[in-house]
Amino acid sequence: MAEATNNPLAKTPLYDLHVKLGGKMVPFAGYEMPVQYPMGVKKEHLHTRSQAGLFDVSHMGQVRLKGENAAAALEKLVPVDIIDLPSGKQRYALFTNDNGGVMDDLMVSNLGDHLFVVVNAACKQQDIAHMQANLGEGVEIEVLEDRALLALQGPEAATALSRIVPEVAKMLFMDSQLITIEGVDCIIGRAGYTGEDGYEISIPADKAEFIATLLLDLAEVEFIGLGARDSLRLEAGLCLYGHDIDPTTTPVEASLLWAISKNRRAEGSRAGGFPGADIILDQIQTKDVKRKRVGLLGQGRAPVREGSDIVNAQGEKVGVVTSGSFGPSANAPVAMAYVGIEYAALDTELYALVRGKQLPMNVAKTPFVPQRYYRG
């Protein structure tokens, strides 16, 4: 998504490398980003599923939080256990608002003497301001403007990266560590946004091209653009902020119950205490929501795009698609949508309106392809 401003687009530290390698650059969240390379979106998608894809995600916001009270202060802004997050581990979190809506989703790592936070590109200024306004005295907020971020994803990611950095082979899903690559101090987390095993690597900006080239020289690795990143995360059932989650959707409506730590729920040891807690915890207990995010699997071949209306057998509108595409690995149209709660049961047949036609789709489990995170 391009920003609706006249400001010049920002460039990541890898912009020149993208252009050199034939990346097709498009506006996205205020940056010039590669949507695809000469290989093309479908082949890039399938390469990531079979080998390893390298993604430039340097447009994301990176923040370091320091201070004895950093974990407790951040925990007041998210429905997640931050205080007991072990050193060397990371956790998916949500910034919520007073209405229980999702302001952004983020990753939080405990690196021992500080927390390392990664937020979405389109929300980073808002998120930084939110933390500055609410974390309180005694928490130092350092915005890391001088770092790039790479994601290496796919079943061969560990094999490839461990030839350069052997210690990454021992990491498990959601581990996060300070690791040196060829003399460059990096933050490496074993996680990602594709449903595949892989790593996210934070690198000093002036070393980004060096590390990226090092990785691209590995036989298994190809650069992958935003197009395949989107189809990969959709097949993996992962939300895209501003589409599948936003300030008007609660975590319960968004089917993100797993992202609300047990000790922050009504019966937990540190129940509530985050923005919108009363609304969210009540929804968990009563199950009283009017709509739900579901997966939809098409019965035909035509893709169903974001914004398409979902109707029932009587032609009445019952929902709307928030993400949709043809899934190259699922080999079928896949989508995520919000539908009325009475239509959210698995295998419910619904119809997507596409150019005046009703395309049959079934409510389906997500992910649409098996996740392959490495848990040991």
What is the per-residue pLDDT across 61-73, written as a single tens digit (0 to 9) for each? 999 999 999 999 9
The mean pLDDT of 233-241, rounded to a whole number, is: 98
When pLDDT is cut at 50, 70 and 90, the band that residue 189 belongs to is very high
Whether the CA torsion 76, 77, 81, 87 is positive or negative: it is negative
* Domain 10-59+145-235: assigned CATH number: 3.30.1360.120
**Beta carbons of 231 and 270 less than 8 angstroms apart:** no
**Beta carbons of 174 and 163 less than 8 angstroms apart:** no
**In the prediction, which pLDDT does 7 show?**
78
**DSSP state letter for 281:** H
Look at strands 31-36 and 10-11 and give their pairing: parallel
When pLDDT is cut at 50, 70 and 90, the band that residue 350 belongs to is very high
**In the prediction, which pLDDT does 333 show?**
98
The mean pLDDT of 150-156, rounded to a whole number, is: 98
**In the prediction, which pLDDT does 4 show?**
44
The mean pLDDT of 245-263, rounded to a whole number, is: 98
When pLDDT is cut at 50, 70 and 90, the band that residue 5 belongs to is very low
Q: Where are the domains of the chain?
A: 10-59+145-235, 290-368
Q: Is the pLDDT of residue 1 over 80?
A: no
- Helix (H) or strand (E) holding 52, with range, is strand 52-56
**In the prediction, which pLDDT does 25 show?**
98
Q: Is the pLDDT of residue 361 over 60?
A: yes
Q: Which pTM value belongs to this model?
A: 0.96
Using CA atoms, how far apart are residues 347 and 80, in angstroms rounded to an integer?
31
**Beta carbons of 158 and 374 less than 8 angstroms apart:** yes
**In the prediction, which pLDDT does 339 show?**
98
Burial grade of 189 (CB within 10 A; 0-12, 13-18, 19 or more)? buried
**In the prediction, which pLDDT does 6 show?**
64
Q: Which residues contact 140 (CB under 8 A, 6 or more apart)?
A: 64, 65, 66, 67
Apex 318 CA angle, 317 and 319, nearest 5:
105
Matching CATH number, 290-368, of 3.30.200.20, 1.10.10.10, 2.40.30.110, 3.60.10.10: 2.40.30.110
